[in-house]
Each structure stands twice: as structure tokens, then as C-alpha cells.
Chains A and B, each alone.
Chain A
Amino acid sequence: MSHITKQSLSELIKNIKDKKLSSTEVTKAFVERSEKSKELNAYVTEDFSAAIDKAKRFDQKPNLDLKLPGIPMAVKDLFCTKNIKTTAGSKILNNFIPTYESTVTQNIWNEGAILLGKLNCDEFAMGSSNETSFFGNVQNPIDKDLVPGGSSGGSSSAVAAQLTPITIGTDTGGSIRQPASFTGIVGLKPTYGSCSRYGIVAFASSLDQAGPMAQNVKDCALLHEVISSYDEKDSTSIDFKRNNYSKELTNNIKGKKIGIPKEYRVDGMPKEIEDLWKKGIDYVKDCGAEIIDISLPHTNYALPTYYIVAPAEASSNLARYDGVKYGFRADGENLIDMYEKTRSEGFGAEVQRRIMIGTYVLSSGYYDAYYLKAQKVRKLIKNDFDEAYKKVDAILTPSTPSSAFKIGEKTNDPVSMYLNDIFTVPVNLAGLPGISIPAGHDAKGYPLGLQIIGKAFDEQNLLNIAYAMEEKINFKNKITDWWIK
């Protein structure tokens, strides 16, 4: 048996079910490795001793019929967890302890999993490098001073570094898939409406979606099966027939039609990304699937559209952080002064930038030119996909236009930072599922990911394609444990 923390979720579950490992042993192993990995700064809040207590209790009366029996896991600090501090990576929520649990995390605990702690992320999930977090940068375990991607940077780092066997992130414009790509792991953004948004600190309501992050496709499928559920507490949750994604997983994708959108060949795309994409096409062909060239003509407009819609919703969603009811409050001369000081001191620069953009595009006189037009373009982008899906079953693209970059490299250039999301953003705008799987390395040995985009509610097919490709790619992440002294 390999070392506990090197085991995949499926192996861990098997070993716990076969009584070869106890939940306590597993939990202790991940706690121990997490303790040794503080330099990664993946955690905002650790709940290690409580986790070990819960594991012991599980072992006293183990229910092995559960899908995640006694499995420890850390989650992104955007999910509200009852009685555990939930910060969304922000100073403004640094003292906030929810009295309630998000539906997605509740689903996880109901299946026997145990909370290890809360993982770092960009402030209010606004960022592509985890550098906007009030709690500091997260290190990518691939290399020192490399960003882990964002906003689910603590999550990607923790899975890649094996501090947690699996995790959940949230994805508004690529916040699961981009960090997954940067750290050599698998990340799925489900169809909008699959996973309840109840209890998740909101960024942009019409785009936010929780999803699983794991070391392989099968683990990802199992976790998705656990978190995807219809929830009456979220009016945008959709009641559709959900599969047993892990059980129904198959690598037989013969005859599937995979689309290659020409508009994703963007100017200035590094050759290694282009090569990776070509390799991906070959893998798909090897699996017996058919490659079809398609067009998604409005792709160019996706990024500007996203950077109108998402900040607009965010500017309103974040209005509740005003120092009145909970969270950080700065003293002021009067109500307005208190608001101004609280929000200036409580929010970081990127969050303030997006609130300003959002407020601007919704302002009277600008609404039609920006917000309304963006909504129309969003519809066109969705129509592009609808058209394409008349011909193909799924679409293959790179996950990101580059591999992970150095901490600080893009901090002062927001537009260059925003360009990171160029391949992932259209998927959120169209409400579709997308998965990033590790597919190769660049010249520096940094991982690169490929994205597969599916039809709405067709996660099973998406996972199957990813599963078949994964087998062909046979990716090995190069982690040296450089941060462990």
C-alpha cells in the first residue's frame, strides 16, 4: 500500500471499506502532511483536532455504506460551514462564523466526509492567482513562488500537494478549471443549476457554480455525484435526473463527436499550448471519437461580456457587507462615514475595482450600453454553443492560454490577469459544464490542462470523455515536496 496521502479517493474508500485503513489513520495522515505544509498557505482555517475527533467517532461506529466513509477533506473558504469561520478570503468577513451550513458541504458531510479546514481563495473569488486573498498568496506545489491559479487556489494547491484527497471549489469564470490546470489536477465546473448555491458566499449569482476538484476523473465523478442535488432553497437550482456519475463512468467514447472551435486559436497563444491541443485531438481520435471543426463566432466577446455581467452582479451582491450586521466594521462619524471606512478598509483593491466597474455599468445612462448589451451578447454566446451541439457531443479546447505564472508577475496588470480566463469564461456565460484535465507539461515542467465542454446536464458524457482521455494521456504530476523541510 502506498503512503496514505498519495492514495486517490477511490483507493482510500476501498481501504477504509476493506478495514485496511481507519478513518482516524487517514485523517491523521492528511493532518500531519497539512501541518508540514504551512508554507503553501493553502489553509485559512484549520480544524484538525476536531477532524481527528470526528474520525475517531466514525471509526467507533463506521457506516461503510456511505459514499465518502470517514474521508477527511478541506473545502474552499467560500462555503459557509456551521460554527466554523468563513471568510471568503476577505478581511470584511474575517470574524464571521456562520450558524448554518451550505447545501453542498452538507451533502458531503451527509455522505460521511470529515472537514479538515477551510482553504484559501481569492477575495470573494475575484482573481486568477489567489493573490487577492486577505490571507496572503498560496504557493503552487509545482514550484516555489508559482501561483496555484485562482480563485480556488488554496483548493488546487491542497489537492496537488496531497493535503486533502479531494476538495470543492467554485467557478464563476474559470475558478475551478484554471487552478486545476495550473496544478495538474482535475476540476469540473458543473452545469449551472446542478449544485445548490445556498450557503455559498455569492460573487456573481448567474455564473457561480460549485464543483469538485480531484486527482483523477473517477474521484471527480464520485464527488460530483455527492454534491449535485436539487435544492428548494436555491431558486436557480434545477430538478433534473442526476446520474450515478462514478458508477456509470466508462472509457468507451467510440463514435462520439468532438468539436474543435477555430475561434479558440487566439493571437499570441504560446506554441506549447497549440501543441498540447493537437496532442489532445490525437488522444480523442485514439479513443475512437470523431473530430469535427466547429465555429463559436462570438467567442471574442465573451471576456468583455463577462467583465460586465460578473462585476455588475458582484457590486450588488457585496452591498450587504456594510458593517451593520456582521463582519468587519470601522468606526465612523455617521452612517455614511462608517460605510465608507468599513468598505474601504474591509475590501481589497481587486474587489473594490470590480464593485466600481459593476456600479458603473449598472448606472443610469450606461445600463443600456453596457449591462443590457452584455446580456444580449451573452445570449448570442449561448446560441453559438446550441448551434455547435447540433453537430457535436462535446468541445475540446485548452484550459488556459499559458501555464502557471510567478507570484507578482501579473499583479499590476489586471487585463493580462483577466486574459487567463479567455477559454473558461464562455462556458460560465452559457451555463454549460466544463472540465479541465491535466494533459502535459510545458518546457519548464509546469502542468498544462485541456478543457472539455459539454452539453447542459450532460456531465456523464463529459466525465466519460475525460476518463477515456485521461487513460491515454497518463499524466504524472511532478511534485518534489520542495516546501517540506
Chain B
Amino acid sequence: MSKDKSEYLINRKDNQYEVVIGLEVHAQVTSESKLFSTSSTKFGAEPNTQVSLVDAALPGMLPVINEYCVKQAIKTGIGLKAKINKRSVFDRKNYFYADLPQGYQISQFKDPIVGEGKVILDMPDGQKEVGIERLHLEQDAGKSIHDLDPKNTLVDLNRSGVALMEIVSKPDLRSPDEVNAYVKKLRSIMRYLGTCDGNMQEGSLRADVNVSVRKKGTKEFGTRCEIKNVNSIKFMQMAIEYEANRQVDLLEEGQSIDQETRLFDTKKNETRSMRSKEDAHDYRYFPDPDLLPLEISDDFIEKLKLEIPELPDEKKKRFIEKFKVSPYEATILVSDNETSNYFENVIKKSDVKLATNWIIGELFAALNEKNLEITESPISAGNLSKLINLIKDGTISGKIAKTVFEHMMEGDKDPKKIVEEKGLKQESDPKALEALIDKVIDDNREKATEYKSGKVKLFGFFVGQVMKVSGGKANPQLVNEILKKKL
């Protein structure tokens, strides 16, 4: 039906619906101290141990901007190919909540620090550009804990005042898969830059997801619903799937969609209304009179540009051009800085093609199984490089290499030593192989006769037998050649 097979559509009787998604990602700025105070931002500390007088909003306390956080936001803006605004303003977003000590959140409303930019997604059917509307700096709130005490809500202010970047996309996303690719790409860029660790378990990356649907082919946007504070990519995808279908069902029944804020219940896999547009908070934004507008010079931006490392898109291009890897492989290899560094270290002294296959194949599978990051890999880049060279120079077969690899995963051992200790070296001496093959033919006379009389399929049986007798060490190419002659 659809001209491009990856198009995500919701089908109902005679209608097809397109899903329109925009994301507001909240990314915690990597910084030792908070946005407007000197308290530590370390994760996992005892409750209320990282709270300054400013964070707790004591009378007469004043915010002072953390220059490092400003630099981090600008760097992220550069990474998103975005316009850096030389003048930005901090506003107060006023609302009452127990974990918001000031009674307002300091954020940026009208004049954000970063303006329009873009992110390129690598989708299976090609690249897709997603527009960035803006990026602004804001404070995080504290944490309300409702389930520790039967009667009271407890409040932990350790997070209160931690710097967040809110990155708002344009409504350019069209499917859960694109959302997956977008969040991963955003995270990858920020990790390359060192501006956000992207750790979703620790809440360093969360998103509000705006979803609307419209009949395929229409230009106008439908009424959107905002799903608040979703903290994993999987949940984002599930929430979109549910929400889009809910909206389509309403439209099919001839009903309209109410603009509202919804919550995603991860246990029931459904979104629920939190508050309608009429009940929406009036945040009474106004410029924070405790802070001057943030003015940034060209010089300041230029200096930061010098600190920007090679980012995933450029690196991918380089990998394809220089190392001749496929776009698909390049995308995987550059997905994070650690992987690409590992890859570049392996290929310093070994074959690129083999290295690519081993890293993307065996290594990723093994790490995945053990739930390890590439930085925690038991096999160092140097030793993987050695293993690849052992295959390349014919010392071991690809099959044996897998056995050696398994041993290496147990601890970072030199593959050469494993081959020697376990006697896994490939048998490539024609004479020794001939003797072996003669014995196999001798032991299977009947089958040899059948083969000669035309049952060619039995060739595979003989190869298998030779490999088995040799304990897998026989050089398979030579075995093939000799067997053909002998039979």
C-alpha cells in the first residue's frame, strides 16, 4: 500500500492515520555543581545531603549562574548545529509544590540560550532530518517520595537546582522507531560532547512526548496530547503506540480530541488524563529579577567551538570514506565515542573488515549477554586485534577463533597464549592432513564408494568427519582441496 515500507500508519476501515510526534527532552547537564549553587550533583547520595541554602530557598538567598553549565549548554547547541543566542534571559516559572522550595523554577521562557538546530537520523531507508526548536537551561525540582511513610510525603532536595537542558524538537517525528532513533542520536551527541551522560536509569534523560494524529495526506496538525515525564525509550514507544491508537479510535467514533496532559502508566501500558487544557497551570512567567540577562560574546562561543570533538555524523562519514565500512556498520560503530575509539584502536594493527565483523558481531553479543558496556569489555582492543591477526595469517580458523574468543571473555588474555596452551593452532600441513583424510576414507569405505557412484552430497559428510577427527583444527580450505583429489 504505502510507497515506502517503513512508513508508520494506523489503519482503520477506510482510513489511514499518520502520527505526529514532538519531544521535549530533559537532559541533566554533566556538571560537578548545580545551576545556581555550589552543591554537588552526585547521584545516589543520602537524601538532603547535597542541599545549599540557595537550593532550599532560605530567605535572602540568591542564585548565581554556574558558568560551566552555560558552556555545556552552548556546546550542546553547537553539537545540534543550532543558533547560539548571544542574549538569553532566565525566567521564573511559578507554581507551588512541596519539592519546589522557591515556589518557582528558574527556567528560560521567551529567550532561550539556544535556538533552531537539527539532528540527522539514520533510518533503515535513509537519513531523516529532525528540526530542533530550541534548547534552554532550567533547574530541576526536588523529589517527593510518597511511599516511605504511610501518612506523610517525604522530600529529598538533592536534585533541587540541578541543571537541566530542555531540548525541544519540532513536530517532525512520525513513528516510535524514529523516536527511538532520535533519542539515541541526541544522547550520542551529548555523550560525545560530555554534556549529558544520558543515563536514563538515573533520570539524567527524560522526555515529555507530544502526540497527535491526522489522516494521511492532510497538512494540518491534529489536537495534541502531552505525555509527561517518560523515562525510557521503550516506554516512550509504548506510550506513543497507545496514545496514537486512542486518538484514532476517538476520531473514528466521530469524537474530538481534548488537548490535555497525560501520564503513561507503565504497568497497565496506557496513558491517562492528568489535567485538561482548562486546568493547565498559569505559570506566570516573568524575567527573574535576581539574575541579569545572560550575554555571551562571539569570542566565548568561538573558544567553545575549539573544544568540540568530532561528532557522530562526521565520524561516520570518515569511517565510510577511510575504512570502507558500510553505512549501516558505520552507524553502529559511531553510536558512542567509546565504541568508535575501541574500533579505531583494534584496526590500528589489524584488518578492518574482520575487525568490523568481530566487534559488531561476537563482541557486542558477548557484552550484551554479560550486560557490560564496551568500556568494561574483558577483551582489550589490543588483544582483539591480535586475535584477528591470528585468523588473517591462518594460524587459526574462524571457528577456532570463536573458541579462543570465549576464553578471552573470561579475562583479558593474549590470544596467542590461549592458542598455544590449548593447542588450538590450525593444522595446515598437507602431509599431516593427507594422513588424516586417508584414515577417514579408510574408515568409511562404503560411503566413499557411494560418493564415487554419484552421491555428491556426501562430500560434506567427509569434510565434517575430517574436522571432527582433527578436533576442529584442520585448515578447512586445504581439507576441501585434498578430499576432492582423494575421493
Main secondary structure of the interface of B (DSSP, over half): loop
Q: Which B residues between 93 and 138 are near A, CB-CB below 8 angstroms? A: 94, 96-98, 101-104
Q: B284 — which chain A residues lie within 8 A by C-beta?
A: 315-316, 359, 362-364, 367
**Known: A316-B92, A320-B102. Is A326-B155 also a contact (CB below 8 A)?**
no
Interface hits, B437-454 → A, CB 8 Å: none
Q: Does A349 contact B (CB under 8 A)?
A: no
Across-interface contacts of B97 in A (CB, < 8 A): 335
User: Complex formed: what's the CA distance from A195 to B56 in Å?
Assistant: 24
B102 and A199: CB pair below 8 A?
no
Residues of B within 8 A of A202 (CB): 59-60, 290
Is B94 touching A319 in the complex (CB atoms < 8 A)?
Answer: yes
Contact A319 B103 (CB under 8 A): yes
CB pair A371 B286 closer than 8 Å: yes
Given contacts A202-B60, A326-B58, contact A236 B102 (CB under 8 A): no
Q: Is the CB of A320 within 8 A of B96?
A: no
Residues of A within 8 A of B56 (CB): 325
Q: How far is the CB of B282 from chain A (nearest CB, A)?
A: 5
Which applies to chain A's interface (DSSP): helix, strand, loop or mixed?
A: loop
Q: A96-B59, A324-B155 are in contact. Are A316 and B286 (CB under 8 A)?
A: yes
B103 touches A234 (CB 8 A): no
Contact between B59 and A319, CB atoms less than 8 A apart: no
Determine whether the beta carbon of B101 is less than 8 Å from that of A320: yes
Q: In residues 378-404 of chain B, which contact A (Cβ within 8 Å)?
A: none
Interface assignment of A12: CB less than 8 Å from any CB of chain B:
no
Which of B62-70, B73-81, B228-236, B463-471 forms contacts with chain A?
A: B62-70
A325 contacts B59, CB within 8 Å? Answer: no
Known: A316-B92, A316-B94. A88 touches B282 (CB 8 A): no
When chains A and B are docked, how far (Å) is the Cα of A236 from the Cα of B289?
Answer: 8
Is B53 engaged at the interface, CB distance under 8 Å to the other chain? yes
User: Contact between A206 and B59 (Cβ–Cβ < 8 Å)?
Assistant: no
Q: Please give me the residue from chain B that is nearest to A78 by CB atom.
A: B60
Residue of A197, A319, A359 near B60 (CB, 8 A) is A197
Q: With A236-B292, A319-B94, A324-B98 given, is the CB distance from A312 to B286 under 8 Å?
A: yes
Please state if B58 and A235 are interface contacts (CB–CB under 8 Å).
no
Residue of B nearest to A358 (CB): B284
Q: Check if A198 is an interface residue, CB within 8 A of chain B.
A: yes
Does B291 lie at the interface of the complex (its beta carbon under 8 Å from any beta carbon of A)?
Answer: yes
- B62 contacts across to A, CB distance below 8 A: 197-198, 233-235
Closest residue of chain A to B292 (Cβ to Cβ) is A235
Q: Cβ of A295 < 8 Å from any Cβ of B?
A: no
Task: Please state if A198 and B60 are interface contacts (CB–CB under 8 Å).
Answer: yes
Say which size band chain A's interface belongs to. 35 or more
A198 to B64, CA, bound (A): 11
Instruction: Compute how far the CA of A96 lies from the CA of B57 in the bound complex, rounded to whole angstroms.
Output: 13
Question: How many angstroms from the CA of A324 to the CA of B103 in the assembled complex?
Answer: 11
Q: B6 on the interface (CB 8 Å rule)?
A: no
Find out whether the CB atom of A80 lies under 8 angstroms from the CB atom of B60: yes
- Is there contact, CB below 8 Å, between B289 and A206? yes
Q: What 1/0 mask marks residues of chain A from 189 to 200 whose CB sits below 8 Å from any chain B CB? A: 000000001111
Residues of B within 8 A of A93 (CB): 59
Q: Looking at B59, B61, B282, which has the most chain A CB atoms within 10 Å of its CB? A: B59
B16 beta carbon closer than 8 Å to chain A: no
Supposing A198-B62, A233-B62 touch, asked if A362 and B291 sit within 8 A by C-beta, the answer is no
Interface string of B285-324 (1 = CB under 8 A from A): 1100111100000000000000000000000000000000
| Chain B residues whose CB sits within 8 angstroms of the CB of A235 once the complex forms | 62-65, 290-292
The reply to whether A232 and B289 contact each other, CB–CB distance below 8 Å, is no
- Which chain B residues border A322 with CB–CB below 8 Å? 96, 103
Out of B60, B64, B94, B290, which one reaches A199, CB within 8 Å?
Answer: B60
Inter-chain contact A200/B98, CB cutoff 8 Å: no
Confirm or deny: A205 has a beta carbon within 8 angstroms of a beta carbon on chain B: yes
**Bitwise interface map of B from 326 to 361 toward A, beta carbon under 8 Å scored 1, else 0:** 000000000000000000000000000000000000
Inter-chain contact A205/B101, CB cutoff 8 Å: no
* Nearest residue, chain B, Cβ from A312: B286
On whether the beta carbons of B60 and A201 are closer than 8 Å, the reply is: yes
Chain B contacts of A197 at CB under 8 A?
Answer: 60, 62
Interface residues of A in 205-251 (CB under 8 A from B): 205-206, 232-236
Q: Is B153's beta carbon under 8 Å from chain A?
A: yes
**Once the chains are docked, how many angstroms separate the CA of A325 from the CA of B56?**
8
Q: B104 contacts A319, CB within 8 Å?
A: yes
A98 CA / B284 CA spacing, docked (Å): 29
Q: Which residues of A contact B289 (CB under 8 A)?
A: 204-206, 236, 313
A325 adjacent to B60 (CB under 8 Å): no
Across-interface contacts of A234 in B (CB, < 8 A) = 62, 64
**Cβ distance B389 to chain A, nearest Cβ, rounded Å:** 58
Assembled-state Cα–Cα distance A389/B77 (Å): 43
Assembled-state Cα–Cα distance A312/B292 (Å): 17
CB distance from A359 to the nearest CB of B (A): 7
Give which listed residue, A86, A96, A99, A367, contacts B286 with CB less than 8 A: A367
Asked if B96 and A325 make an inter-chain contact with CB atoms under 8 angstroms apart, the answer reads no
Residue of B59, B65, B292 touching A80 (CB-CB under 8 A): B59
Chain B residues near A313: list those with CB within 8 A.
Answer: 289
Chain A proximity of B140: nearest CB distance (Å): 17
Interface residues in A309-331 by Cβ distance below 8 A to B read 312-313, 315-316, 318-320, 322, 324-326
Contact B286 A325 (CB under 8 A): no
Q: Determine if B286 and A320 form an interchain contact, defined as CB atoms under 8 angstroms apart.
A: no
Residue pair A320, B60 in contact (C-beta under 8 Å): no
Question: Contacts A100-B53, A335-B153, A363-B284; is A324 near B101 (CB within 8 Å)?
Answer: yes
By the criterion CB–CB under 8 Å, are B96 and A205 in contact?
Answer: no
How far is the CB of A429 from the nearest CB of chain B, in Å?
13
Nearest-Cβ distance from residue A84 to partner chain B, whole angstroms: 13
CB-nearest residue of chain A relative to B155?
A324
Minimum distance in angstroms from B150 CB to a CB of chain A = 15
B60 touches A200 (CB 8 A): yes
Q: Is the CB of A363 within 8 A of B96?
A: no
Chain B contacts with A in 223-241, Cβ cutoff 8 A? none
A205 touches B64 (CB 8 A): no
- Complex CA gap A347/B263 in Å reads 36
Measured in the bound complex, the distance between the Cα atoms of B289 and A204 in whole Å is 8
Contact A102 to B96, CB < 8 A, known contacts A316-B286, A324-B155, A364-B284: no
| A163 to B282 Cα, complex, angstroms | 48
How would residues 401 to 441 of chain A score, 1 for a CB under 8 Å from any chain B CB and 0 otherwise?
00000000000000000000000000000000000000000
Q: Which of B53, B60, B94, B292 contacts A362 (CB 8 A)?
A: B94
Please measure, in the bound complex, the distance between the C-alpha atom of A449 and the C-alpha atom of B97, giving whole angstroms. Answer: 46
- Interfacial chain A residues near B104, Cβ < 8 Å: 316, 319
Chain B: minimal CB distance from A325 (Å): 6
User: Chain B's nearest CB lies how many Å from the CB of A149?
Assistant: 23
* A339 interface residue per 8 A CB criterion: yes
Docked Cα-Cα span, A187 to B146, in Å, equals 51
Residues from chain A with Cβ under 8 Å of B101 in the complex: 320, 324-325
For B102, give the chain A residue with the smallest CB separation: A320
Q: A319-B94, A335-B153 are in contact. Are A362 and B59 (CB under 8 A)?
A: no
B96 touches A362 (CB 8 A): no
| Cα separation A416 to B407 with both chains bound (whole Å) | 89
B103 to A, closest residue via Cβ: A319
Distance to closest chain B CB from A226 (angstroms):
19
Complex CA–CA separation, A455 to B82 (angstroms): 42
- Are B60 and A102 in contact, CB atoms less than 8 angstroms apart? yes
Rounded to whole angstroms, the CA-CA distance of A364 and B60 in the bound complex is 28
Q: Tell me whether B292 and A319 are in contact (CB under 8 A).
A: no
Q: Do the beta carbons of B290 and A205 come within 8 Å of each other?
A: yes
Q: List 5 A-B contacts (CB under 8 A).
A: A234-B64, A236-B289, A315-B284, A316-B92, A364-B282
List of 9 A-B pairs having minimum Cβ-Cβ separation, nearest first:
A319-B103, A205-B289, A362-B284, A206-B289, A199-B60, A320-B57, A201-B59, A364-B282, A80-B60
Apart from A235-B62, A235-B65, A326-B58, list 5 A-B contacts with CB within 8 A.
A100-B58, A201-B59, A232-B64, A235-B64, A319-B94
Residue numbers of A with Cβ under 8 A of B are 80, 86, 88, 93, 96, 98-100, 102, 197-202, 204-206, 232-236, 312-313, 315-316, 318-320, 322, 324-326, 335, 339, 359, 362-364, 367, 371
